Structure formats: structure tokens, C-alpha cells
Copies of this chain bind each other. A is one copy, B any other.
Amino acid sequence: MDAASDIKYLTLGGSLKLKSGITFGPITVAYETYGELNPTKSNTILICHAFTGDSHVASHRSGDRPGWWEDMVGPGKAFDTNKYFVICPNVLGSCKGTSGPISLDPKTGKPYGLDFPVITIQDIVMVQKRLLDHLGIKTLLSVAGGSMGGMQSLTWAVLYPDMVQSSIVIATCHRHTAQQIALHEVGRQAVMTDPDWLNGDYYGKEGPKRGLAIARMVGHITYMSQASMERKFGRKLVGKEELGYNISKDFEVEGYLEYRGQSFVERFDANSYLYLTKAMDYFDLTEDGQSLADVFQGVRSDFLVISFTSDWLYPSEQSRTMVRALKANDVGVSYVELDSDYGHDAFLIDFGDQTKVVANYLARVQNDKAGRT
């Protein structure tokens, strides 16, 4: 079986009323599953990926391509696929199988481009809900995710309180701040001012490669920490023994950013970059003017909230704000600030404590559930 065939596709019947008010369809969802659904359908864990992730959260077998949370998901791992049925869908608006701007518009037979509707984290979650409905899954043992994945996890707990038993919310926030919006806007402007963006209608042409690479370079700086960049690169030179005294690259960190920018361009669609950053910037659980404590009033899930000491993109204070609002509702919350100097990337690469914390938490959730039944 080749890797591609591990991706399953579901095309939802009918259309979906999006948060914008627009009715949109058809929508195809790409997803991967791991482990077995038990007879009572009570062992499902939904894992929500971050910004540029996909449904491939882990390898399916020996020799398979590693997934983006390979160290967290698999037999005997924190998300133990011997026990749990793990499902990971690609998000709406992305370019990894689920409908997005690069998908073909059935009306024209061409990619949607900017005709794709602007979507929100709630829309992403609603599509996931439809997928689970189709699979006949009525309860989720847990909904887990970091960064944009954490926003989805939060939204699940608020939108579908009767369905979610526990929420694992990592390195994220309940609403984007001005600085978080600003960092995304730089990336969007880099893409949209690239002459090859062509108002989003660049498919089959060159595409805004320069702008998208710049956008990704900004992103990478925000995903790392001052300390992790210093340890990894410091002032090491790239391909030279001494400073070049010309306008080209001198430092290894410059070469690294170029490499990350270029490789991103090969694997991600520029319009999806615009749409998903917008979805994150729109994200604000308190948008209706309610306090966050009020928003969490109906929540019935138990929570594990994790942040990382050196994450300056989604700093711990944002997690503590959520924890306070959950506690105000007497919701069960375990909050752990993990010591890591990997910055925001820690949720994707720093697994020592994260693995133990998640494994122990899920064991407790299962025990609590067993005690109740």
C-alpha cells in the first residue's frame, strides 16, 4: 500500500452555511485514521493540525513517511493507537486534500483562487463535525491540537459541549492579538504584493514564490526563540571563512531562512497561506462581546492546557488567561507550562515532558470515564 492511499476522502453532501453567511459546497475532507474504533465508539481522539500541517499526523507502519507529530502518536505513544482511534483531518482552506483555494470549482473547472470563501476556525470545526457524523462518532474522548490546532480544540469544546470529553490545548490563545495579526499581515502583504500573485489567479503559472518565501521566513523567526536561534546558529558563517563585505549572505541563519522559505514554496499554496492566516486572525472566542468566562459557561469538557516558557508568539500569559476563565466556571483544568527554549516550535519538537503530560492526562480521563460508567 503506498502512502497516498492512507489518506481517505469524504465529500460532504449538500452545502455548509459558513460563518460569513455564505453557503458553500461541495466540500471534500481529507483525513487519516490510526488504531481501531472500539465497539462502543468511545475511544476516538480528534487531532487538529496547525497552520501548514496535514492529515499525516504519524506514520502508519514501519517505513512509512514520519508524520508531523510522529513522537506523540502511535502504538505505545502518548496518543496510543493501541488504545485510541485517532483521526486527523486536513483543515478547510488548506491545500493538502481538503477543499481550499487550490481545489477545482465545479462551476468553472478551474481552481477557486479568491472565489473560495473566507473561512474561520468555526467553519473548519463544523466540517470536522460533519466528518465525524458521517463516521457515526458521537463522542470524542479528546480533541487535541497545538497552535491553530489548539484553536480548533477550544472551538470544539464551546460549539459541541456534549460531544467532547476532554480538550488538549497547546501553545495557543483564545483570540489573536494585534501583534499576532501584524506578523501574519506582513506575510500576506509579501504574497499579495508579489507581481506573480496575480490576484490569486496564478495556478498553472509561476506563482508568488518570492513573496511566499518571505512570508515563511517571518514565520520561522516567530516559531523559534531567541535562545534556540542562538544555540543553533549564533554568528556562524555560511560557506565562507570570514565576513564577505558584500551584500550577499554571510551568516548560517540567513541560509537557513532561505532554505526554509524555498522548501515551503514547494509544499504549500500561497492562497491557502492567505486564507488560513486570516482564519487565525479572525479567531476570537469573545467576539460577541461576552467575557471569556461567559463563553466557557456551557463547556463540559475537561481541559489540559500546555504552554512553553520560550514561546513568544503564543506566550504563556495567553494560556493562563484561558485557564482562569475555565476555572471561573469550575471546569476541570490541568495547566502545565513546560520549560523549553524551542519557542513556539516546542509543541512540534520538544517531546520529553509533553509526551508524559499528555499520556498521563489521557490515562486520567479514561479512568474518570470508567469511574462514571
- Residues of A whose CB lies within 8 Å of any CB of B are 19-22, 114, 117-118, 175-179, 181-183, 185-186, 188-190, 192-195, 200, 210, 213-214, 217-218, 220-221, 224, 226, 229-230, 232-235, 243-247, 249-251, 253-254, 257-258, 261, 274-275, 278, 281-282, 284, 312, 315
CB distance from A144 to the nearest CB of B (A): 26
CB distance from A334 to the nearest CB of B (A): 26
Chain B residues whose C-beta falls within 8 Å of the C-beta of A247 in the assembled complex:
114, 118, 188, 192, 200, 274-275, 278
- B253-A221 in contact (CB<8A): no
- CB nearest neighbor in B for A315: B226
Bound-complex Cα distance A179 to B235 (A): 10
How many identical chains are in the complex?
Answer: 2
Bound-complex Cα distance A20 to B234 (A): 22
- A229-B179 in contact (CB<8A): yes
- B218-A177 in contact (CB<8A): no
Of the residues B189, B245, B312, contact of A217 by C-beta under 8 Å? B189
CB distance from A34 to the nearest CB of B (A): 35
- B221-A182 in contact (CB<8A): yes
Chain B residues whose C-beta falls within 8 Å of the C-beta of A224 in the assembled complex:
179
Chain B residues whose C-beta falls within 8 Å of the C-beta of A193 in the assembled complex:
210, 213-214
Chain B residues whose C-beta falls within 8 Å of the C-beta of A275 in the assembled complex:
247
Chain B residues whose C-beta falls within 8 Å of the C-beta of A245 in the assembled complex:
19-22, 117-118
